[in-house]
Amino acid sequence: MNIHGLAIGIATFLIIGLFHPIVIKTEYYIGKKIWPLFLILGLLCIYLSTLISNLIASSIIGITGFTLLWSIQELIEQENRVKKGWFPANPKKAQSKKYEKKYS
């Protein structure tokens, strides 16, 4: 029995689930300005996945890389969700104070 697909599927589910709160917390504390780090780490993971001979490890690193790239768009969308009031704004960020004044 081959469980590679099952292992990769479970890993994908967990990676995506892990990045959901990472994006939310990153936008809350830092903002979307951190997106270049997500880009660098994503491209690095994708590159490393091409060097790894183990199928499962290579797949997991590649999935993590593409999840990091997808998270760049999610950071931008998360900022928009905060602007709409769907998520709380960080009162310590200057951006939050600007929106509070604008919509108060």
Read off the pLDDT band of 103 (50, 70, 90): low
State pLDDT tens for residues 39-89.
999 999 999 999 999 999 999 999 999 999 999 999 999 999 999 999 999
What mean pLDDT value characterizes the chain?
Answer: 91
Structural domain spans, the chain: 32-103
Task: Enumerate residues 6+ apart whose C-beta is below 8 A from 42.
Answer: 65, 66, 67, 68, 69, 71, 72
Helices (H), the chain: 4-29, 35-51, 55-83, 94-103
Confidence (pLDDT) at 92: 86
Least confident of 8-17, 65-74, 90-99: 90-99
Confidence (pLDDT) at 38: 98
